[in-house]
Amino acid sequence: MALLHAAEIRPSKIELIRGWAPDQPWFVGDDLGLEQVAAYRFDDPDGEVGIETILVRSGDGPVLQIPLTYRGAPLAGADEWLITTMEHTVLGDRWVYDACGDPVYAAALATTILGGGSEAALERDTDGERAPVEPSMRVIGSGSSTDVGSVGLVDVRDLDGSTLVVTSVAELEVLRVVGDSWSMGGETLTGTWDGRDGSVLLAAAR
């Protein structure tokens, strides 16, 4: 379960994406009009790291997938993946990372794909009162493993329209440009959201 807070954050998530994504090698589209399409979260079993993937697009351009992690302290050795720091009125300063370089995200993605998992359930905390929140997006892994095991992050590199996250249990390919033209072997993560006709491929493990 992912806990959401009634808080103000600076910069906002869409502001930090607009400032960072256009400089990435996989970026396509108009950087001025990026807007959020949908989002989904994974759970960190230790409850320390926020894991959120935001889908954005500009006008009728392609949908881009932006996985982020939110941490209460810097991740050692991960300066190249740091996007910015964020002021959160409930949690304090948060370090925001491109999640593809964060081992907690790699483990969550691998476990979800290979174990047939789904997005995290959401609850919002307002003045100590918790209430369920309907997610804007649903995702599902195709695998059926009952024991994925410990997942270690080995290497990360950008490809044409995707990012390859090499782990100790599988190579994970995260689609940065989401669309119907992708076809991958292995187990997959697919998703759908309001206004989307049918599911779309988001990532694969092989």
Please state the domain count of the chain.
Answer: 1
- Residue 120 gets which letter from DSSP? P
pLDDT in tens, the chain (206 residues): 556 555 677 899 999 999 999 999 999 888 778 999 999 999 999 989 999 999 999 988 999 999 999 999 999 999 999 999 998 777 679 999 999 999 999 999 999 999 999 998 877 766 667 777 788 999 999 999 888 889 999 999 999 899 999 999 999 999 999 976 666 779 999 999 988 888 999 999 99
pLDDT at site 30: 80
User: Could you tell me the residue range of the domain that residue 101 belongs to?
Assistant: 2-205
Dist CA 26 CA 72 (whole Å): 28
Peptide bond into 11 cis (omega under 30): yes
Write out pLDDT tens, residues 85-108.
Answer: 998 777 679 999 999 999 999 999
pLDDT at site 144: 92
What count of Cα atoms within 13 Å lies in the side-chain half-sphere of residue 55? 25
